[in-house]
Structure 1
């Protein structure tokens, strides 16, 4: 008899968004998922019958309580089961023989038992774990086995070991497990699961940025320290992505963050168990990707550990021309010198060869005001494969942890980064109702970064009041050398380009560049900071966070050796305070929180009276509620925020050639996130973000209007998946979800508006996950939706990707 799986999806309605449109496209996705289920279905009636037996059992803790989510393995056959809420498991179709059974749970001692299986009989194998129920619950909290996509506990966000319910800040975490389920081959695809992130911006050298609370936010922070690298980020070395919301200048360098928040990528670390995983992904647009994750202890006592992650990636654009080819290697090493001292050292090395990301500027005097109405071919790149560039990356990171006492530890971290873009990067500009100009910069553009942090972290009591305190010092330096020339091609008719379409090639461009003047400039920025943050527990349920950071900036500006001139140089000092309050209404389940946070951004230049500008400040007030209910089966955060930006510059109405610094901007809104596991194997991730941004005091051309770069004011994300937890097809699973964004602007002024339409994109996946292998298939953009980024870059149409992972 053929077995079918029925999945009922809950209807989720989001206020103020086109939810009807979003949900109307789900049936198409469900049909494809249903079809995949038929393709992957196991027809048990046609299976050849062979001699076999069954192993059943119950696993309990030492105090007699049923143990859920425990892994049970037959060592010789690699057959595996997971206990249900009653602690029961069943392993069918086991060939007769003598076997070793292993019962294991993350953080617990593995239990073993010898069993004998006979034909057509049931063998009983019960286990008793040495830990009690309380200990098991603690590990559930850390391992999140009851909700596999919930991993909120982190030391990076507050630079202190705080639980989510204790932290007055809002953040989202995308786990490696979720990225595997969604067959993520591009780093920014992970951000589909973060409320309010929007469509990613891809820049010429592969670096990326997304939205956070209406502000463009780049990917420049790695493991809590600068990962500044103007290059692409490969997902092969990513353990999780942390999206920290709101102005975060108190604990993070302001050069790395935006007023909307900071994206922190956490990399994979060496483990004390040998393992290897080899992956291959193949898909539309000639995608070919090979990954390897090799981990091994280097000595018997497992104090020296080594891990290396690598990726070889190649794909073409869905457009007529365009490609990406990269090689990525990330070795990491950990050495536990003694009980007090440990050292971590890792690196990321890559070579990235590609054509420029698509970038289009509209015609401000034209008759078209919406990208969907522009008569430009969605599938044309208006560039050539020979007009390309190469980016290189060589970054080294280190961390030294030393336990000073039972209450204090020292953490020293450093980062040394190098990235370079050499070659030709392009841009497209519409200059008339039918004309487009292709522009190019031929450049050699290296960046150098140095970041050193020294943190002292304490957990102690003053009287009966617990304090968790971090005090830190930070030095940061960023340098660049840029050598470039600009080439402008003749205007091309973008509706009927003809033979001239092929003229944008390396030979013709290089000939024009040879007669164009080059410009060489150097930049050098340094900052010195001291910061402190203290979490004070007045009671087990009431706590406060008090934080302050002081920064001294020394920007030497842009230096041009040929003219011996320097512009944009300044020195500034800025303070960033932070205050948070948390009250756990129901301890470890429901908390109310509020925060005041400050971020700043340095502003170069002077006004008409030659007064140096002050740093630009963003002050956020936020309040909300966090839930962690039913043994972590539902985790949710709902918040309201209000961000006020001051000291923005605007054109001086009395002296149009100068700026004055009295502008203001407001960004406020609501964010909600739910991560749920209502029953075993079924997972839901949903998010909604509403953002209301506007200039409250600015140039007349934008006064009272939403900044174009703020993106859609309404964004929603949903992912629903089910994995069969036991039985003959245990490990078979399916997922479906999508993203919605309301209409937004590429340009929004009183004289010209250019609209980017709303979009709804649906994705689906099917997979079969076993201890020794994993097979997956992913369909992106099932409905073949046409949608664009803020830079008017057309996004990928429907694509199918197949994935195979072998585990050793």
Structure 2
């Protein structure tokens, strides 16, 4: 039997129409849930995750806290709302066919806000509206009287940045790294080296710390300009804060492999999940292995890192997080990036090297332990306690030049062994208080640190001559290189640096005019005891104030002014032999911010006060 084309089309159209009719009927029998998510103070809880447990249905609340779940089959369900810093809420619901259920949800704050990283405050994956909790601040970046730039995890991933010294500074205006230190994250900004923080604690060392591998990093926060209030003692140019990955409570795993030029092979794995069925014990494990050369022959930097984290939710208001990190490095002698010429800069090709193929490997072992206790006292007050121990061990050498004889470079080497031990701790409270129509955001706490460093660069030797225009490598036997005497421990043969400090601080952020105007009043008293093998010993203490003013012109623009002081004890002396204590004080400055980034501003000025203390 033959069927005409028109008959086929007529039959097909009927079939499609019947299918659409059945689908419409089925859809109309499904239910809908909608509502608004708020916090206990009545404000909209934006970007909260709202899901139906046991299904694939889920949605993120918008900036007004509104959410809607559609096309749900009739039945009994558990509705759950959750967000970092808020206590998860679950509700049992029953849906009938065609029902539109309005379910408003109210969430309360919990202690997670003190230890988790808040990243999802802005829908953009490259922009964050909030600082991490490790900076001890609860105020959005746009409202702070401070310039803070955030390099997000997505930025690090998309730019394929391997470590802190490799490419982070390209994302931060005015920041640059020191090229000599392939192993250390020495970053300069606004006229001086900025301090290194990890999870909100000052881990700056004489030469370190070792560059953090990005496999264990969640985000990097660059605090620019006067930051003495957060620094304790340190340069007024600012600091960078590396925030490491923590457990999220979600079960997931990720593995990456990178193959690149100059013999680069790298693999990393990230595991995240629960160690107990009730979710009270969570874990995060990051592993990384890397072999990497450079555009210079015989130069390499091979690394391995292991970073496990365990979080114990002791009760609904208290949690304990323990984090261990091991980083191992095997690399060519430090300082091999130098290119010396008898004629001047840019004379030699970019791939010129002073290295030889059979030089000894410099080995570094860096370990750290961070323990964080977070406790929600009540709905308005939270306590955080954090301690850390960092151990840095380096056995290696540095490559230098002693001069030229015509076109021939005289190469030398020097032992460079390091032992570093850092013990730091901080304890602080955050609180919200209201007096009449004025809101107060309180921060108060104590910082403590004890840093010991032993360095040995007292032994050296001759590597051999090299014609920089006609270099010939591989002609020097390994037995001709200097042999360093390590029969004594580094504590006995090395020079000793020590820094001990204690700081007490308090801050009141006064919020006026419906939170459009913020006035910050703060102060810190810092006591230090420094031992320097070259400058001497100095003990000192100083009170440093901080005043801030911030005003929101609209939702995306604010202006601010800040006055802050940084306290830097100096062990130098006068011609008469008197020791002096100098402090660097930053002057007032006005700047404007748009969407959390700097829009315009005046350059920071630095002045040196007259001596106020003698030792």
Structure 1 equivalent of residue 380 of structure 2: 407
Structure 1 equivalent of residue 16 of structure 2: none
Q: Determine if the alignment matches structure 1 residue 192 to structure 2 residue 170.
A: yes
Structure 1 equivalent of residue 273 of structure 2: 296
Q: Determine if the alignment matches structure 1 residue 346 to structure 2 residue 326.
A: no
Structure 1 equivalent of residue 40 of structure 2: none
Q: Determine if the alignment matches structure 1 residue 150 to structure 2 residue 111.
A: no
CA distance in 2 between counterparts of 1:194 and 1:415 reads: 28
Residue 617 of structure 1: which of 564, 584, 588 is its match? 584
1:198-218 Cα distance to aligned partner (Å, 9 max, x none): 3553515x1122232243335
Residue 497 of structure 1: which of 471, 484, 488 is its match? 471
Q: Is the 8 A contact 1:576 1:598 kept in 2?
A: yes
How far apart are residue 415 of structure 1 and its match? 1.0
TM-score, normalised with respect to structure 2: 0.77
Give the 3 Å change call, closer, same or farther, for CA 505–345 of structure 1 in structure 2. Answer: farther
Structure 1 equivalent of residue 544 of structure 2: 576
Match of 1:585, SS state, is strand
- Can you give the 5+ residue segments of structure 1 that lack an aligned partner in the other structure? 1-52, 90-101, 112-124, 136-140, 559-565, 629-634, 649-659, 663-808
Match of 2:194, SS state, is strand
How far apart are residue 504 of structure 1 and its match? 6.1
Q: Is the 8 A contact 1:321 1:381 kept in 2?
A: no
Residue 482 of structure 1: which of 455, 467, 475 is its match? 455
Structure 2 equivalent of residue 419 of structure 1: 392
Structure 2 equivalent of residue 442 of structure 1: 415
Q: Determine if the alignment matches structure 1 residue 162 to structure 2 residue 132.
A: no
Please list, as runs of the form range in 1=range in 2, the aligned pairs for 1:185-264 lying within 5 A after superposition. Answer: 185-188=162-165, 189-198=167-176, 201=179, 203=181, 206-217=183-194, 220-228=196-204, 229-255=208-234, 258-264=235-241
CA distance in 1 between counterparts of 2:59 and 2:509 reads: 42
Q: Is the 8 A contact 1:333 1:345 kept in 2?
A: yes
Structure 1 equivalent of residue 355 of structure 2: 382
Q: Is the 8 A contact 1:154 1:161 kept in 2?
A: yes
Give the 3 Å change call, closer, same or farther, for CA 520–88 of structure 1 in structure 2. Answer: closer
Structure 1 equivalent of residue 336 of structure 2: 358
1:665-706 Cα distance to aligned partner (Å, 9 max, x none): xxxxxxxxxxxxxxxxxxxxxxxxxxxxxxxxxxxxxxxxxx
Larger radius of gyration: 2
1:754-785 Cα distance to aligned partner (Å, 9 max, x none): xxxxxxxxxxxxxxxxxxxxxxxxxxxxxxxx
CA distance in 2 between counterparts of 1:589 and 1:341 reads: 35
CA distance in 1 between counterparts of 2:357 and 2:102 reads: 63
Match of 2:605, SS state, is strand
Q: Determine if the alignment matches structure 1 residue 181 to structure 2 residue 158.
A: yes
Please list, as runs of the form range in 1=range in 2, the aligned pairs for 1:288-687 lying within 5 A after superposition. Answer: 288-355=265-332, 356-360=334-338, 367-368=343-344, 371-372=345-346, 374-376=347-349, 378-428=351-401, 431=404, 434-484=407-457, 485-498=459-472, 501-502=473-474, 506-511=478-483, 519-539=493-513, 540-558=515-533, 568-586=536-554, 588-628=555-595, 636-647=597-608
Q: Is the 8 A contact 1:61 1:130 kept in 2?
A: yes
CA distance in 1 between counterparts of 2:238 and 2:435 reads: 33
Give the 3 Å change call, closer, same or farther, for CA 280–126 of structure 1 in structure 2. Answer: farther
How far apart are residue 611 of structure 1 and its match? 1.4
Root-mean-square deviation (CA, aligned residues, Å) is 4.5
CA distance in 2 between counterparts of 1:464 and 1:378 reads: 66
CA distance in 2 between counterparts of 1:512 and 1:263 reads: 36
How far apart are residue 128 of structure 1 and its match? 8.3
CA distance in 1 between counterparts of 2:134 and 2:480 reads: 50
Q: Is the 8 A contact 1:314 1:324 kept in 2?
A: yes
1:117-174 Cα distance to aligned partner (Å, 9 max, x none): xxxxxxxx99989569999xxxxx9724632212131244752211112201011101
How far apart are residue 643 of structure 1 and its match? 2.8
TM-score, normalised with respect to structure 1: 0.60
Structure 1 equivalent of residue 9 of structure 2: none
Match of 2:396, SS state, is strand
Give the 3 Å change call, closer, same or farther, for CA 605–626 of structure 1 in structure 2. Answer: closer
Q: Is the 8 A contact 2:251 2:274 kept in 1?
A: yes
Q: Is the 8 A contact 1:247 1:598 kept in 2?
A: yes
- The structure with higher relative contact order (CA 8 Å, sep 6+) is 1
Give the 3 Å change call, closer, same or farther, for CA 437–260 of structure 1 in structure 2. Answer: farther
Give the 3 Å change call, closer, same or farther, for CA 187–80 of structure 1 in structure 2. Answer: farther
Give the 3 Å change call, closer, same or farther, for CA 383–133 of structure 1 in structure 2. Answer: farther
1:503-543 Cα distance to aligned partner (Å, 9 max, x none): 5665322348799xx95322222112111122111332111
CA distance in 2 between counterparts of 1:505 and 1:79 reads: 68
Give the 3 Å change call, closer, same or farther, for CA 299–512 of structure 1 in structure 2. Answer: closer
Match of 1:251, SS state, is helix
How far apart are residue 72 of structure 1 and its match? 11
Give the 3 Å change call, closer, same or farther, for CA 567–214 of structure 1 in structure 2. Answer: closer
Match of 2:416, SS state, is strand
Give the 3 Å change call, closer, same or farther, for CA 304–519 of structure 1 in structure 2. Answer: closer
How far apart are residue 321 of structure 1 and its match? 0.9
Q: Is the 8 A contact 2:585 2:606 kept in 1?
A: yes
- Can you give the 5+ residue segments of structure 2 that lack an aligned partner in the other structure? 1-19, 37-45, 70-77, 92-97, 109-117
